[in-house]
């Protein structure tokens, strides 16, 4: 893994985290406990701050970044960010599943207990209400998150990634 300081900031992270050998953590990044950053993922806090809670998995090929002097990135607890997603200058609240290949743009806010379906694009300033499933380009609400999606997808995947990370330690 590459951990790089920039502009006087060095990434900080909590206990029991897993970082793949070719993952990259840069700059003004603070990450909680039980997080994982997978192969070829980049979390680049060079132009603005990135704050990440506990039990967050950032899957292979994902890029997390912000916009200089405008948009920081804030990610809550128990968040899964699928392979090859782009998370840019936005806020993702607790217990969210961001599907593979999603793009979430500046100043967007994803409410807690939500799912962004694979391949979806949230343009700048999109607001996803708590408990929503959004899909498409541009993404729109398609349904509510019911108990089966909450337990069977959001909670299951976040929990599984804490387990998967243990295999690599």
At 132-165, the pLDDT tens digits run 999 999 999 999 999 999 999 999 999 999 999 9
Examine the pLDDT at 104 and tell me if it is beyond 90: yes
Kindly report, residue by residue over 105-117, the tens digit of the pLDDT: 999 999 999 999 9
Does domain 2-166 bear CATH number 3.40.980.10? no
Alpha-carbon distance of 43 to 49, in angstroms, equals 10
- Residue pair 115/97 in contact (Cβ under 8 Å)? The answer is yes
Residue indicated by tokens 């006087």? 8
Contacts with 9 (C-beta within 8 Å, 6 or more apart), sequence order:
27, 28, 29, 45
Q: Is the pLDDT of residue 95 over 90?
A: yes
For residue range 63-78, what is the model confidence (pLDDT) as tens digits? 999 999 999 999 999 9
Indicate if the pLDDT at residue 169 is higher than 90: no
Taking each continuous run of H as one helix and of E as one strand, the counts in the chain are 2, 20
């Amino acid at each position: 893994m590459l951990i790089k300081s920039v502009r006087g900031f060095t990434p900080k992270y909590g206990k029991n985290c897993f970082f793949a050998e070719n993952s990259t953590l840069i700059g003004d990044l603070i990450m909680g406990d039980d997080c994982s950053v997978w192969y070829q993922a980049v979390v680049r806090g060079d132009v603005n701050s990135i704050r990440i809670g506990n039990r967050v998995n950032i899957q292979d090929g994902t890029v997390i970044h912000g916009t200089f002097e405008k948009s920081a990135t804030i990610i809550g607890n128990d968040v899964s960010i699928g392979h090859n997603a782009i998370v840019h200058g936005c806020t993702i609240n607790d217990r969210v599943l961001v599907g593979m290949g999603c793009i979430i743009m500046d100043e967007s806010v994803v409410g807690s207990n939500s799912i962004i379906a694979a391949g979806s694009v949230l343009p700048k300033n999109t607001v996803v209400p708590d408990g929503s499933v959004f899909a498409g380009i541009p993404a729109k609400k398609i349904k509510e998150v019911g108990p089966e999606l909450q337990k069977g997808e959001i909670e299951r995947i976040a929990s599984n990634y804490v387990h998967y990370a243990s295999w690599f330690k």
